[in-house]
Amino acid sequence: MTALDLTGRTAIVTGASRGIGLATARSLAEAGAKVVLTSRSQESAEKAAVEVGHGSVGYGAHAVDEDAAKACIDFTLDTFGSIDVLVNNAGTNPAYGPVVDQDHARFAKTFDVNLWAPVLWTSLAVRAWMGEHGGSVINTASIGGMGFEAGLGVYNASKAALIHVTKQLALELSPSVRVNAVAPGVVRTRLAEALWKEHEQLVADASALGRIGEPEDVASAVAFLASDASAWMTGEIMVIDGGQRLGNAQAFR
């Protein structure tokens, strides 16, 4: 057994029907974990679980629905007997455009899904299992939460808040529960499609490693944070961006 082996552990991944969530569920399952994949609909959750395999199961639970979240926590404990890993991956961005042009509904939805849901699921997992038995929580943040860019002000603010909350929870829940986050750059997902689809090469060229990210790039980092290989890490934000924040390496050639 290696430090990256998750055999005997159970993980919940929210927003797992596609993109980074689906890749993360697959990575955790391949490392030996039993995985519960959530999505807003039972059908999409089950479809994703079949795709992942390895005994994974799907559970329909909108990330901000407290009753559904609690039911999923109870289902996971009844089915597998533990909740050792929680990946708060569900995210949304309905508030594209200048901050001053956003209405309350779009603002609230962004913060509900991107910030409140991770707090909700973490609270439920800690009370039901992790508080007594320990565990690892990984939040999906974004490099957008570390800077500023046109059109993404509300989304980036929600991710900046999630970075702060990750560190706060790490302190509050230590030493039994570790809380970390990944901060992806532009990744080939449906949520980020508007950022790369029409100008993929330009986005790729603007990063040191010369390509946009794949969901699997982020999933590997999540699996590391879920495992004992990161046992002395908490409150950390792992940037997974292919050197996007560094810029175009060709300028140095």
| Residues whose CB is less than 8 angstroms from the CB of residue 103 and which lie 6 or more positions away in sequence, other chains included | none
Residue 155 annotated in active site: yes
The neighbour count for residue 59, using CB atoms within 10 Å, is 23
Choose the catalytic residue: 59, 111, 155, 196: 155
DSSP letters along the chain, please? Answer: --TT--TT-EEEESS-SSHHHHHHHHHHHHTT-EEEEEESSHHHHHHHHHHH-TT-EEEE--TT-HHHHHHHHHHHHHHHS---EEEE--------S-GGG--HHHHHHHHIIIIIHHHHHHHHHIIIIIHHH-EEEEEE--GGGGS--TT-HHHHHHHHHHHHHHHHHHHHHTTTEEEEEEEE-SBSSSTTHHHHTTSHHHHHHTSTTSS-B-HHHHHHHHHHHHSGGGTT--S-EEEESTTTTT--GGGG-
- Please identify every residue annotated as catalytic: 155
